Amino acid sequence: MTTQTTPEACTVHGNSVTFDHVSKSFGRTEVLHDICLEIPGGRTTCVVGPSGSGKSTLLRCTNRLEEPTAGRVLLGTTEVTDRVANIDAIRARVGMVFQNFNLFPYRTALDNITLALRRVRKLTSEEAVERARTHLASVGLAGFEHRRPGQLSGGQQQRVAIARALAMEPEVMLFDEATSALDPELVKGVLSIMRDLAGQGMTMIVVTHEMRFAKEAASQIVFLDEGRLIEKADPEKFFGAPESPRLKAFLSAVS
Amino acid sequence: MFDGLRRVWETFFDLDLIGQTLPTMVRVGLLNTLLLAVFASAIGVVVGVVIAAGLLSSKRAIRLPCRMYVDLLRGLPHILTVYLIGQGLPLAGITPFGKSTYGYAALAIGLLEGAYMAEIFRAGFQSVEKGQVEAARSLGLSHLETLRFVVFPTGGRRVLPPLTGQFILVIKGTALVYLLGLTAGQREMFAIAQDAATLHASLSPLVAAGLLYLAITVPMTYAVNAWERRLRDGRKDNLATMDRALAQQATG
């Protein structure tokens, strides 16, 4: 299902992301508290934690789908949180994959991918279509170009969404519980694409409940609880020798 | 008893009179009714989309006047608005259509319909899932590009049935332009019927006009219902969202 046909077209260049004392409140509720975190370029960072811990919010601060209340977010040396920065240009450098796929329903798989290529990357129709085909093939969906989201399974939709983000040749990929809405038998295909991508040196921030994926693909794992960064470690230490009681409790609950 | 029945019959169903007025009613009246409805709806759609976009604006200075427009025109009796715009504009020296009552009539009904269509479009645009907007923005599309390429196409399709329903209301609404005083060739169905009714002291022409209205509106209503049912069965979740938005508008 996940044949990688043209690795060349998917060669990726990662960039680092820095969270510098990032806080975020919704009204009086503080969902992120003073997060300092370095996401190294070319590596995969998994963010785990109980629901409501602020994982998604942290991820969404990366491309300012959420506006941090305080602190800075940097993409390489670009300050994402700079209010005068062209946020559209920054967002185009960051790919995002959502829990519910969020494909545009009345567009075919191909059109879903070419829209931003033409409008944002200013490719000609032919260039956009060619690049879209390449990326659809790379997620194992050659031949599905003209299907609409409604005619695709959840797993296929999510793979189109991944192709849509990758076609923009982003410097960083964000995955917000990308497999949580999928039937169990469809999770594998999506995870294996993500694993391949990690292997190619894409910078990835992955919010996930898939502990096995975190263990195998991440270079660092971050544990959030109640909006605070509780622990950060490489997979071996994270699962083998967790320090904080809260992480220990979390790990014993999910395993 | 028999005399009474005969009188009722002649008042409402004078077949000779109906036969006499029907050709003009179909040739001139029906055509003008449909033309007015199409012109007014075209104006209404343009006004509706613009006002709907304004209603969804994050800027109060844009939202507020749009909200006032909708509340005002939906809150006034239609007859009053049609008079104020249709009669008022030429009287006030604002004469984009010269002396043609027709243009002012279409404009008056169009502006009125724009207020109703704005709410339909707003509900349709709001029914577009937030996730799609976020996906578009995360790809680097600007706010306007997202509206144009994601929100309008998706929301626009969902408003087609209610919009057609509104078109049926416009067809009926065109009868109001009778008030503005149309020339013989400009008269729509109701005006022709009303003139004939006054002339012959019988309501039969109005009954005939009524039947013509029904011949258009009833089949269209059923067609729209079937269309909405098909959409609903096909895309349950989306229409549920839109129904909620419409219900919210009705109660709020």
Q: How confident is the model at residue B250 (pLDDT cuts 50, 70, 90)?
A: low
B153 contact residues in A (CB cutoff 8 A):
104, 106
| Nearest chain B alpha carbon to A90 | B140
| Candidates B149, B235, B238; nearest CB to A119 | B149
Q: What is the mean pLDDT of residues B216-222?
A: 91
3-state SS class at A39 = strand
A161 contact residues in B (CB cutoff 8 A):
135
Question: A248: left (phi > 0), else alpha (psi -120 to 50), else beta?
Answer: alpha
Q: Are A48 and A222 a contacting pair, CB within 8 Å?
A: yes
Spatial distance between the Cα atoms of A64 and B42, rounded to a whole number of angstroms: 39
What is this structure's pTM? 0.77
Q: What is the mean pLDDT of residues B217-246?
A: 70
Q: Which of A83-87, A237-241, B144-148, B181-185 has the highest mean pLDDT?
A: A237-241
3-state SS class at A84 = coil
What pLDDT digit, counting tens, does each position of B4-54 carry? 888 888 888 888 888 888 888 888 889 989 999 999 999 999 999 999 989
What pLDDT digit, counting tens, does each position of B130-173 carry? 999 999 999 999 988 998 999 988 888 888 888 988 999 999 98
Residue of B138, B150, B158 to mutate for A, most A C-beta atoms under 10 A: B138
Spatial distance between the Cα atoms of B41 and A223, rounded to a whole number of angstroms: 57
B246 residue type, one letter: L
| Candidates B140, B157, B238; nearest CB to A120 | B140
Cβ-count burial B20-56 (b if 16+ within 10 Å, e if not): bbbebbeebbbebbeebbebbbebbbebbbebbbbbb
Residue-level pLDDT at A3:
43
Topology (CATH level 3) of domain A7-254: Rossmann fold (3.40.50)
What pLDDT digit, counting tens, does each position of A219-247 carry? 999 999 999 999 999 999 999 999 999 99
Q: What value does the CA radius of gyration of chain B take, rounded to a whole number of Å?
A: 22
Q: What is the mean pLDDT of residues B62-88?
A: 93
Q: How confident is the model at residue A192 (pLDDT cuts 50, 70, 90)?
A: very high
What pLDDT digit, counting tens, does each position of B85-110 carry? 988 888 888 888 877 888 888 999 99
User: Mean pLDDT of all residues in chain A?
Assistant: 92
Contact A96 B149 (CB under 8 A): no
Task: Measure A238 CA to nearest chain B CA, in Å.
Answer: 31
Q: How confident is the model at residue A10 (pLDDT cuts 50, 70, 90)?
A: very low
Residue of B130, B134, B137, B139 to mutate for A, most A C-beta atoms under 10 A: B139
B15 residue type, one letter: L
Q: Which DSSP state fits B148?
A: I
B144 burial class (0-12, 13-18, 19+ CB within 10 angstroms)? exposed
Residue-level pLDDT at B1:
67
Spatial distance between the Cα atoms of B194 and B189, rounded to a whole number of angstroms: 9
Contact A94 B132 (CB under 8 A): no
The ipTM estimated for the assembled molecules is 0.91
Domain ranges of chain A: 7-254
